[in-house]
Amino acid sequence: MRSSNLLAVLSAVSGAVAAAIDLPANVPRNVDEFRQKHPYKNKGCHNQRPLVKIRSSADDTDDVADEFLEGLKKANNGGTLYLPKGELFMIGKPLDLTFLNDVHVHWDGEVKFTNDTPYWQANAFSHPFQNSLMFWKWGGNDISIYGEGILNGNGQRWWNEFAGLEILDPDNKYLRPVLFYAENATNFQMEGIHEKDSPCWTNFIVTSKGVSFKDLVITAESNNATSEPKNTDFFDSLNVEDVTVERVWVNIGDDCFSPKSNATNLHVNTMYCNGTHGQSMGSLGQYAGEMSFVKDVVIENVWLLNGDNGARIKTWAGPDVGYGFVDNVTFRNFWQARNDYSVQIDSCYFNIPSETCEQYPSQMNLTNILFENFTGYTSGKRGAVVARLSCSTNPDAVCENIQFKNFNIKSPCGDPPVIICDGVKGDTGVDCVSADSAEAQAALGKTCSVPLATIDPPF
């Protein structure tokens, strides 16, 4: 369940919560207000660079993939490919764009992928990490994509056909493409673009350094209530360094920001997320014998509504998993409304039976994690419990220096908020109880519900 818009106060919520919490001043309530508050400043298409134009598509069946490829080849090494506003560019075959060097794409038109699901499943590029497929792959040095255009994954058919399945189910054979994939990219930036209706992850960045996303709008909205967008994360990564995300509006059906294995020096500043699984680290430690890590991360100035979680760290457990660490991660200035947990550390990720996690606990170390300046309220689905930290019971897995500072999340259920902490070493800065305690069980049992946070009048 998600609102098609973002960020507003509830029009009908329990009096205690409504009186105590209000929408922060000057927060945009929809895409138009987001663009007004954070206007994208178009760089223009010339910039003293040679300009390349290609023919546009006559309709949704007119594939211009070959022309798109040739246009980038001509613009490579110092030029700009120009996609004018009001023009459509249909892509109907996979494109290998990993040869790029010093190229700009001034993107004001719409690039749209065909929705021939059997063709793409048979012909798309693939990556072994979680059986990923890709429509195309970008890579190289000094790549700049900017403009006020649309990248459209045409995802509705994919969501319809995937309904009821799970991406991480080992028996799942229905694979869906990532909307934008880059590998071995150095100094890559995307600015201004509306990434729309991805079949699966929206962005997957692999083995890259110096990556920047700014002033983007990311949406995945279904017209079929029985097949909502699924796994449409805004950002996923593998082996990345020096990543910056600034001023992004996200209305999708999964993680808002979710770096996976081996990510260093990440900074997210100003993000609005609706209907997501949260700002996540991971999942991590999925593959047997492989080391995973995420370190040196700051995620700040974030607004999250109508989701499963606010800030989250998720690691795998079981007999055949990997190992590694999460270190020096700060979640700062988070405003939340109607998320199930405002904070969650899950060391038994993805439907692993609890007895399996107890027998084969996670091998991931979690150290130096800070949750600072959190305000808002939960959904009531977890009763009075507003945050839950479940660290690994593995004697070799460290979980220490996990700190809360200025943490003011309330439950709408009318009871004092409760935080569950299991396996955390040292003082967290807040009162914590064990999940097995009578207080925790009572708090979890006092569930309630509140309406979706919506901007629809009356506010």
Helix (H) or strand (E) holding 215: strand 203-219
Kindly state the helix (H) or strand (E) to which residue 357 belongs, with its residue range.
helix 354-359
Return d(Cα 305, Cα 8) in angstroms, integer.
Answer: 9
Query: Residue holding tokens 């007895």?
Result: 355
Instruction: With H, G, I as helix, E, B as strand and everything else as coil, classify residue 394.
Output: coil
Q: Which two tokens stand for residue 129?
A: 């990490």
Distance (Å, rounded) from C-alpha 74 to C-alpha 77? 8
Strand, coil or helix: 140? strand
Q: Give the contacts of 45 (CB within 8 A, at least 6 positions apart).
A: 51, 80, 82, 106
Distance from C-alpha of 272 to C-alpha of 22, rounded to nearest angstrom: 16
Which one-letter amino acid corresponds to residue 132? S
Is the peptide bond prior to 412 cis by the omega test (within 30 degrees of 0)?
no
As a whole number of angstroms, the distance between CA 267 and CA 285 comes to: 22
CA dihedral 13, 19, 20, 21 (to 10 degrees): 60
Determine how many CB atoms are found less than 10 A away from the CB of residue 432.
Answer: 20
Q: What are φ and ψ of residue 293, in 5° steps?
A: -150, 150
Separation of alpha carbons 14 and 147, rounded Å: 43
Closest CA to 377 of 432, 304, 444, 300: 304
Q: Which residues are catalytic?
A: 254, 277
Tokens of 336: 């939340």
DSSP H or E segment with residue 1? none
